Amino acid sequence: MKFKIPVIGADVEIKISELLVKEGDLVTNGQALTVLESAKSTMDIPADFDGKVTKILKEAGDEIVEGEDLLEYEAAAEKSEKTDVSSMQVKIAKEKEATDEQVKDDEPDENEQVMSTVKGVGGTSSFQEMVKEVEDEMSSLSEEKTLQRNYFKPEINKLLKKSQAALVVRHAIKIKKLKELKIYATAAAKFLITTFDIDPADIKERTSTGRIDTMIAKNYIEKHLSKSGNAVAEPTEKPLPDSLFTKYGTIERKKLSKIKQFSAKFLAKASAEVPHVAMYQDSYIDDIFGMYKKAKKSKPDIKISFLAFSVKIVAAALQKFPTMNASIDMASNEVIYKNFSNIGIAIDTPNGLVVGTIVEPKSLTIYEISEKIFDLAEKAKAGKLSADEMGGSTFTISSISGTSTKYFSPIVNRPNVGILGLCKAQYTYIVDKNKEPAIKLTMPLSLSFDHRLIDGKEGSLFLEEVKTMLEKPGDIIKI
């Protein structure tokens, strides 16, 4: 039987963060099988069966969608037939231990083999065997991995033309380091580590069995390959040694929360891939703030969020600027225009920033939007936002009105192409259109957008439209 991923929300990318079971494990109904990650949250997926895991179909790091198979299992017999569960667990543990020992015993000492060859006549025989082993593994890959096979074939051919003895020496050095670090890798992965002269300690990803396989090596190479050729670029982040700080005093290390870990990668990727442009404006919001106070007074039993007014205004502005509501697909060189407008709102939680989505706010009242904002915030802080509640935004609003910061440059929440930052409104002295001094309630606006799709003029006009609508909201918002 197969266990399928339940409904998790179709609008967001989901990856497997951790697999909590392995083949041979006994599982009970409700036990967590895996941890899934979206851009802004993590969620445990529990079993809906009692039984034994017979085959794992996905690995940590794989993308997965609802309805997709995660693993195969053998359902448990009726209670009358499963009275010796503990003895079964002992048996499984012993079988695994025996298997692990057999793997260790059967594994050849590649370092000795290769170094022995080096002492011979150029290392041809052993090197050819190594290449054949890799080619055999490549040819056994499924059709879905044809691209992977074709990607490395030229590299194998290149190596055959090089000094084989020198490569065998390098291979021996790499194998020695793998053994010293207790890093396990497939034959093809070891070959690629040699080919591209990679420090194996830099490869952090592993399969569910704790090894570096061909796909992990390929992904690492593609990510770190320099543009100039086949040299591997330095990893973007290297560990910071304690000695960098301890000479000045004591330190303490604390693990990042899962949300922080994921958002750090997500934001770094967005910042690196999206050419950001930021623009700033001041909006005089006396009128809309008056509407806010009126709404609170007219319905004192209902909580009203001032952010709801901005959500309503931005949704209206997006109707006039459909490109700001779109997404850009560089793989197909297409713009994806959406016939809906969903506003994502950034929510600060103890574990990090998450984004909740308000669906079609243009058709909601201020009271309905406020209710949704408070509901999303409450769930986010409790870590209970569903994937659906975080997916599908077409534009994002990030408010830091709780601080005195005047302007900032928010990072675009891909696949959105725009994000609006709101700062704390303060009374300021201005000179009005009649050149008379005046005091206005001023809210700073900060707009960031993806310059690949939005040019400067369009970005400026959109921000001006939002400013104008905030200052004259009567045609859009009714209280």
Q: How far apart, in Å, are the Cα atoms of 462 and each of 322, 326, 346, 364?
A: 10, 14, 20, 22
Whether 455 is a known active-site residue: answer yes
The separation between CA 129 and the C-alpha centre of its own chain, rounded to angstroms, equals: 40
According to DSSP, the residues that pair with 422 across neighbouring strands are 399, 445
pLDDT of residue 173: 64
Q: Tell me the pairing of strands 26-27 and 51-56.
A: antiparallel
Q: Any long-range contacts for 291-296 (C-beta under 8 Å, 24+ apart)?
A: 291/473, 291/477, 291/479, 294/479, 295/366, 295/367, 295/479
Class for the domain spanning 266-471? alpha beta
Q: What is the pLDDT of residue 268?
A: 76
Domain boundaries, the chain: 2-75, 110-224, 266-471
Give the distance from CA 325 to its chain's centroid: 22
CB atoms within 10 A of CB 427: 10
- CATH 3.40.50.300 given to domain 2-75: no
pLDDT tens per residue, range 52-88: 999 999 988 888 887 889 999 998 875 443 434 444 4
Residue 242 appears among annotated catalytic residues: no
Q: Which two tokens stand for residue 247?
A: 């000479």
The DSSP symbol for 81 reads G
Q: How much is the pLDDT for 115? A: 37
**57/72 Cα distance (integer angstroms):** 7
Question: What's the pLDDT at 236?
Answer: 54
Q: Which two tokens stand for residue 380?
A: 């986010």
pLDDT, position 172: 61
Which stretch of DSSP H or E encloses residue 467? helix 456-471
Give the C-alpha distances (Å, rounded to integers) separating 6 from 9, 47, 268: 9, 10, 30
For tokens 């011979």, the residue is 120
Model's pTM, two decimal places? Answer: 0.53
Alpha helix segments (H runs only) across 299-381: 306-320, 366-381
Which phi and psi angles does 471 have, rounded to 5°?
-80, -30
Check residue 255 and report its DSSP letter.
P
Site of tokens 């509407």: 291
- Say if residues 181 and 201 touch (Cβ distance below 8 Å): yes
CA-to-CA distance for 281 and 198, rounded, in angstroms? Answer: 49
Which two structure tokens, joined as six digits, stand for 426?
A: 């303060």
Task: Indicate which residue of 197, 301, 455, 475 is catalytic.
Answer: 455
**pLDDT for 224:** 66
**Dihedral of alpha carbons 90, 96, 102, 108, sign:** negative
| Calpha distance 391→349 (Å, rounded) | 18
β-sheet bridge partners, residue 212: 185
- The identity of residue 272, as a single letter, is A
pLDDT score for 18: 81
Q: What pLDDT is attached to residue 463? A: 97
Tokens of residue 177, six digits: 């380091």
**Quick one: which of 287, 198, 211, 335 has its CA closest to 467?**
287
Put residue 51 in one of left, alpha, beta given phi > 0 → left and psi -120 to 50 → alpha.
Answer: left
Peptide bond into 415 cis (omega under 30): yes
Of 209, 212, 214, nearest in space to 99 by CA: 209
Question: Which residue in 242, 329, 451, 475 is the catalytic one?
Answer: 451
8 Å CB contact between 314 and 466: yes
What is the CA angle 405-410-411, rounded to 5?
A: 155
- pLDDT at position 171, please? 62
Q: What does the alpha-carbon distance between residue 299 and residue 319 come to, in Å, rounded to a whole number? A: 29
Per-residue pLDDT of the chain (479 residues; tens, 9 = 90+): 999 888 665 445 678 888 888 898 888 887 888 887 765 556 778 888 889 999 999 988 888 887 889 999 998 875 443 434 444 444 444 444 444 444 344 344 433 443 343 333 233 344 455 555 555 544 544 433 444 444 444 544 544 444 444 455 556 666 677 777 888 887 767 777 766 777 888 888 888 778 888 778 877 876 765 433 444 343 456 777 888 788 788 888 888 777 777 667 777 777 778 889 999 999 999 999 999 999 999 999 999 999 999 999 999 999 999 999 999 988 888 899 999 999 999 998 887 888 999 999 999 999 999 999 999 999 988 888 888 898 889 999 999 988 888 899 999 998 999 999 999 999 999 988 888 899 999 999 999 999 999 999 999 999 999 999 999 998 899 87
* pLDDT of amino acid 323: 95
Buried b (16+ CB within 10 A) or exposed e, 244-262: eeeeeeeeeeeeeebbeeb
* CA–CA–CA angle 423, 429, 434 (5° rounding): 120
